Structure 1
Amino acid sequence: MYLPKHLALAVSGLCVLPSALAAQPVQKVKPPVSQAYIDLATFSGGAPMPGAGGLMGSLFGARNNDNTFGMTQTGSPGRWMDVTLLTRNNGKLKTANHSVPAGSKLAPVLNLLAPEQAPVEAGDTQDSPEPVKFEMPKGKMYLYWGCGAEVRKGQPLVLDLAKMDPAQFNKFFQNRSATSRVPGPALGRPVWPNKIDARRLPDGASMVGEHGFAGDGVVDGFKFNIDARHDLMPAVEAARNDEGNGVLFKWKPMQQASAWFVQAMGMRDTGKAEGNEMEMVYWTSSELPDMGMGLVNYQPNGSISKWQKEKVLLPASATECMAPKEAVGAMSMSRVIAYGEELNMAYPPRPKDPKITWEPQWDVKVRLKSVASLMPGMGGAMNAAMMGQEAAPEASQEKQAPASVTGTVKEAVTRGVVDSLVRGLFKR
């Protein structure tokens, strides 16, 4: 068959292209000799929300204002930092130093310490308590999503817990997350805070400036700078207003925020919780269905950028989002997260020539986030101040939820969501 010259060239080019691509060398990358991980977290508002963060704090033994490793995952109000160091030159590293700038108000160094023994796994001792009996709650769960006062077509997704339909579960439990698992305390892996250095971050502390790590087997010259973009984030100043056609979530702009996300969850009828029957309602600011349980945490830069394009996350410039009243009840608890930009540095930098093997001596990852928890009854003066209005004392008093009711809702949410659903889902 005869082909015109330009088509023949095009076809021949397509045939050559795969082999040309295959000939491109793949750069060899060796693991860094020494690595450090720094997690920075700011929590504000009410008590910690139930979920993975609260469970993480329990695993690390965190209580109230204790400064123990893992507080960056608990949701406890305050500013927290976790530091982990490891080096392949010394698998038995027990202590190390993290030099910090004067602005941290913890200078000159943080004392890192590795645990004396490996963590005891559940069931390793004869004194382990009896396993908790698990009873699946009765009732239904509802999922709404997207900003706007009106309930959108096709919403809500409804999950009938009595049917236990796998297809229904898979459709309902959509939780995007790209949160990486950061190494924690272990033999040969010192961390801060610890039992010999459990200082809390002082008010006004800043991590801007030069940092460094030193210890037996840690490479020389492990030094780097943290800039203002990657410093501890300020507290999210957020509030909600139920006065209009919908429920308006509003927050103040934050220079460090690279994206925003809002999640709410609550009981539709708190009275049913006593009989182990519930109607749980979820709403998130995402334009795509997502419960948000995985998104209210650190996320890498690439995922944040991707989910912004898909409108799962709100842009950095966003300052408000409205939800339908059917989706966010008066007793719903909610969270507003500002994502910080993750900082990744390594030395020496990666060679541009793929033929040259990259052998980094050290690398460091800094993650940051700021999360506000809005508990039931947090209306009145706080909301009015955020909305630029004057609060009416009488109205404010009417909106305050009794402590007994708030406690009932929180208990029901914790029991119904964390104990029943999280455990059940992860066993699938």
Structure 2
Amino acid sequence: MDTRISPVSAAVAAGLSGLAALVVPHPAAAQKAELHVEVATHTLPGMGGMGALGRLAGNMAGGTAAYGQARHPGMPGRYLDIALDNTRKPGSPATQAIPKDLRLGKALDLLPPEQRVATAPGVSDGSIPGLAQDSNYEVRFYWGCGEEARKGQPRKFTVTVRNGRQSMSGSAPQPRAVPKLGVESDPRYALWPNQSSRKTVPGKASLVGAHSVTGDGLSRPIDFRIDPAQDFMPELELRSGGEAAQGISLDWNPVDGARAYFIHAMGMDGDVVVMWSSSEDGYAGPELMSYLPGNTISQWLGKGTLLSPGTRRCAIPKEIFAAHPMVQMIAYGDTRTIEGDEWRVHLRNKSTAMLMGAGMGAGMSAEPVEDSAKDSAKDSARDAAKGLLRGLLRR
């Protein structure tokens, strides 16, 4: 048998071999370690110590830091979440040397959690925080800044809460598709804060400077620097004025590093929920109170979903709420990736604020309210605030 290979066949084989080399990634390229650094600044303007509500929140939070709080902060302060995804040795402990201005010592120990902690609903899936179990709610949604609600508003739909899950019916809108960033609490990742270190970040802490992560499975340290643009953002000083019947005015300070803003408000009265957002292009809910990549920010600025970085005020239309509602606002910071030969570092920051208004749980009509109804509204406000805080602090 003639086993000789023709020049043409050899050329084809060589070509296919070269193509395979292009298609199949080098093992080292598929094993880059990923370090996620998420920072947040959160304020509760005008609330001071928050009285009994503050004590409630402090007790629920345990007065200590926990991984995930940077995404959904509850109490005022600075928050830092760090997660190492070490693909070569998942879940291996690591150490991160930090600048002295972070005021958390010379280094942070990154440790895997003892068990996976499931993400609580309320933001990423578009569900509404603070709703009681085994209940049905009518939701009325408004959107857009201005003195009066736009034609065709509100949009009404129903939310049913069963077995810890929310289902929507009627003309319920789809929540915005917010890109998922970062990682959850899982034994595959080494995290800070963790079960051995729950230090809270000091109010004057700074991330600026050199950082270095070492650990088993990392062939070389993850050495990187954080510049002022990725440091903790300034506080978002959100202020409100006016009355709900005539329209509530909101204004705020310019936040250095903010690429865009978004505002969401909610009030409850028994089984009726009223929601409003600053979006100009339709439904946008609490799922936007999260980190957003730069391309999404640019896209949603163009559509009017987000407020431009030069915006300083917005009005909630009159007669939507009977009194000041609970208002959440976010200033989106930059997202940045630093690339090394065998690692990537993802940096994300934001500044948020929350106003716990007198209308949290108040009715949605501007008509006079009887004393018994006022008492009922206060009870609803208290229950709603407790439910909201539980949702915020457990995410």
Query: Cα 1:67–1:416, aligned 2, differ >3 Å: closer, same or farther?
Result: closer
* 1:336 pairs with 2:316: no
How many Å apart are 1:181 and its aligned residue?
4.5
Q: How do residues 106-117 of structure 1 correspond to structure 2 at under 5 angstroms?
A: 106-115=104-113, 117=114
Partner of 2:202: 202
**Contact kept in structure 1, 2:248 and 2:317, CA below 8 Å:** yes
Partner of 2:367: none
Partner of 1:128: none
Partner of 1:145: 143
Query: Cα 1:26–1:314, aligned 2, differ >3 Å: closer, same or farther?
Result: farther
Q: How do residues 14-413 of structure 1 correspond to structure 2 at under 5 angstroms?
A: 30-45=29-44, 63-72=61-70, 73-93=72-92, 95-115=93-113, 117-119=114-116, 134-138=133-137, 140-159=138-157, 169=169, 171-243=171-243, 245-267=246-268, 270=269, 273=270, 278-348=271-341, 361-377=342-358, 406=378, 408-412=380-384
How many Å apart are 1:250 and its aligned residue?
0.6
One-letter amino acid matched to 2:328: R
* Gap regions ≥5 residues in structure 1: 1-24, 48-56, 123-132, 349-360, 379-401, 420-428
* Whole-angstrom distance in 2 between the partners of 1:323 and 1:284: 8
How many Å apart are 1:346 and its aligned residue?
1.1
**Contact kept in structure 2, 1:248 and 1:321, CA below 8 Å:** yes
Query: Cα 1:70–1:156, aligned 2, differ >3 Å: closer, same or farther?
Result: same
* Whole-angstrom distance in 2 between the partners of 1:141 and 1:417: 20
**Contact kept in structure 2, 1:64 and 1:76, CA below 8 Å:** no
One-letter amino acid matched to 2:87: R
One-letter amino acid matched to 2:380: T
SS at the partner of 2:30?
coil
- Encode CA deviations 1:46-74: one digit per residue, 9 max, x unaligned: 78xxxxxxxxx9xxx96142112122124
The alignment-based identity, stated in percent, is: 29
| Equivalent pairs, count | 325
**Contact kept in structure 2, 1:175 and 1:295, CA below 8 Å:** no
* Whole-angstrom distance in 1 between the partners of 2:331 and 2:275: 20
**Contact kept in structure 2, 1:98 and 1:212, CA below 8 Å:** yes
* Whole-angstrom distance in 2 between the partners of 1:408 and 1:364: 44
**Contact kept in structure 1, 2:327 and 2:356, CA below 8 Å:** yes
Query: Cα 1:305–1:34, aligned 2, differ >3 Å: closer, same or farther?
Result: same
SS at the partner of 1:229?
helix
Query: Cα 1:32–1:210, aligned 2, differ >3 Å: closer, same or farther?
Result: farther
Q: How large is the Cα RMSD of the aligned pairs?
A: 3.4
Q: TM-score normalised to the size of structure 2?
A: 0.73
How many Å apart are 1:236 and its aligned residue?
0.8
**Contact kept in structure 1, 2:40 and 2:349, CA below 8 Å:** yes
* Whole-angstrom distance in 1 between the partners of 2:262 and 2:215: 39
* Whole-angstrom distance in 2 between the partners of 1:75 and 1:233: 17
One-letter amino acid matched to 1:148: G
How many Å apart are 1:35 and its aligned residue?
1.3
How many Å apart are 1:343 and its aligned residue?
1.4
SS at the partner of 1:195?
coil
SS at the partner of 1:172?
coil
**Contact kept in structure 2, 1:331 and 1:406, CA below 8 Å:** no
**Contact kept in structure 1, 2:73 and 2:79, CA below 8 Å:** no
Q: Which of the two has greater strand per residue?
A: 2
One-letter amino acid matched to 1:375: M
* Whole-angstrom distance in 2 between the partners of 1:418 and 1:62: 7
* Whole-angstrom distance in 1 between the partners of 2:168 and 2:295: 30
One-letter amino acid matched to 1:89: R
Query: Cα 1:199–1:285, aligned 2, differ >3 Å: closer, same or farther?
Result: same
One-letter amino acid matched to 2:219: V
One-letter amino acid matched to 1:367: R
* Whole-angstrom distance in 1 between the partners of 2:79 and 2:159: 37
How many Å apart are 1:85 and its aligned residue?
0.9
**Contact kept in structure 1, 2:91 and 2:111, CA below 8 Å:** no
Q: TM-score normalised to the size of structure 1?
A: 0.68
* Whole-angstrom distance in 2 between the partners of 1:168 and 1:405: 24
Query: Cα 1:362–1:241, aligned 2, differ >3 Å: closer, same or farther?
Result: same
* Whole-angstrom distance in 1 between the partners of 2:389 and 2:151: 26
**Contact kept in structure 1, 2:143 and 2:277, CA below 8 Å:** yes
* Gap regions ≥5 residues in structure 2: 1-21, 48-56, 120-131, 161-166, 360-373
**Contact kept in structure 1, 2:329 and 2:353, CA below 8 Å:** yes
**Contact kept in structure 2, 1:258 and 1:340, CA below 8 Å:** yes
- Which deviates further from its counterpart, 254-263 or 180-189? 180-189
How many Å apart are 1:295 and its aligned residue?
0.5
SS at the partner of 1:223?
strand
**Contact kept in structure 2, 1:103 and 1:207, CA below 8 Å:** yes
